[in-house]
């Protein structure tokens, strides 16, 4: 399955530097320093029937558009699936706006007023997930809606992004008072070993959802070397990497 917005974001772009395959155009989700990344990403575009040899009409920097596309799509689909639950889907909302983390506003006031606490406690608990899903019609003691899901949108996966995602999820686990929200990542990363770097672990991230899951699976089967193929079979076989289309099913069924 493929996200409805995938082909609006995935496409071909001029290679900014000489790549190892010597291609003038490369997939906009590929790491041009990795032959495997370029080949697998090209196979994804072939599966999506994005024509080769032509620069695609896609955003120059797809990170922000991916966040907006996920926000818009979740808001529309969830409201259609179950309009009675009062879905609220937003970008960049700080977690203190939600019931499980309302107490952090008081913590923040104390930390802000005390320089010693700022050094000791830090301020990295004020997280702003890329996309949040909350339930406006659920009554809580704080009067704030509960956070139903926090979605980290990463166009591609790099080591620094993996650490950032894990840190944010750990902080939300550690500081919550109440039910655990669904903590997930949405990505277009084509390289299975990089997907594995965030999908593996001790459960900081509940799941990784890929916007072109079926196309990537087909490309891996045709183009990947044994290392990449093994990584793909691992993360999909253990249901750590899932199709983006399953995200709304999961959220609507909770």
Residue 242: domain span: 6-253
Cα(68)–Cα(60) distance, rounded to whole angstroms? 15
Average pLDDT over residues 87-116: 80
Contacts of 246 (CB under 8 A, 6+ apart): 1, 209
CATH number at residue 132: 3.40.50.10010
Alpha-carbon dihedral of residues 15, 165, 237, 28, nearest 10 degrees? -10
- Number of domains comprising the chain: 1
Residue 207 falls within a domain, yes or no?
yes
Residue 116 has pLDDT above 80, yes or no: no
Residue 222 has pLDDT above 80, yes or no: yes
Residue 69 falls within a domain, yes or no?
yes
Q: Which residue is listed with tokens 């920097």?
A: 61
Residue 1 falls within a domain, yes or no?
no
Residue 121 has pLDDT above 70, yes or no: no
Beta bridge partners of 197: none
Helix, coil or strand: residue 147: strand
| Cβ 154 vs Cβ 194: under 8 Å | no
Average pLDDT over residues 117-121: 49
Structure-token pair, residue 130: 């890329």
Residue 249 falls within a domain, yes or no?
yes
Give tens-digit pLDDT for 13-30: 999 878 889 899 999 999
Residue 113 has pLDDT above 90, yes or no: no
Residue 154 falls within a domain, yes or no?
yes
Cα(205)–Cα(129) distance, rounded to whole angstroms? 13
The angle at the Cα of 24, spanning 221 to 193, to the nearest 5 degrees, equals 35
Structure-token pair, residue 228: 């990449």
Residue 183 falls within a domain, yes or no?
yes
Total-model pTM: 0.92
Residue 21 falls within a domain, yes or no?
yes
Residue 10 falls within a domain, yes or no?
yes
């Amino acid at each position: 399955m493929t996200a409805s917005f995938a082909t609006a974001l995935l496409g071909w772009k001029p290679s900014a530097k000489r790549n190892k395959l010597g291609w003038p155009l490369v997939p906009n989700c590929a790491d041009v320093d990795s032959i495997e990344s370029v080949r697998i990403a090209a196979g994804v575009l072939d599966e999506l029937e994005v024509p080769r040899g032509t620069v695609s009409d896609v955003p120059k920097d797809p990170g922000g558009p991916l966040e907006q596309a996920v926000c818009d799509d979740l808001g529309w689909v969830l409201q259609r699936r179950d309009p009675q639950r009062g879905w609220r889907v937003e970008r960049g909302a700080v977690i203190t706006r939600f019931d499980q983390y309302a107490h952090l506003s008081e913590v923040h006031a104390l930390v802000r007023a005390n320089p010693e606490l700022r050094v000791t406690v830090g301020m990295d608990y004020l997280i702003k997930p890329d996309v949040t899903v909350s339930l406006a019609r659920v009554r809580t003691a704080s009067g704030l809606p509960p956070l139903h899901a926090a979605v980290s949108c990463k166009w591609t996966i790099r080591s620094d992004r993996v650490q950032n995602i894990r840190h944010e999820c750990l902080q939300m686990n550690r500081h919550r008072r109440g039910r655990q929200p669904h903590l997930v990542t949405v990505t277009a990363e084509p390289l299975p070993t990089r997907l594995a770097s965030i999908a593996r672990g001790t459960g900081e991230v509940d799941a990784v959802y890929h916007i072109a899951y079926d196309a990537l699976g087909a490309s891996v089967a045709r183009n990947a070397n044994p290392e990449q193929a093994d990584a793909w079979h691992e993360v999909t076989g253990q249901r750590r990497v899932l199709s983006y289309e399953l995200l709304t099913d999961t959220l609507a069924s909770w």
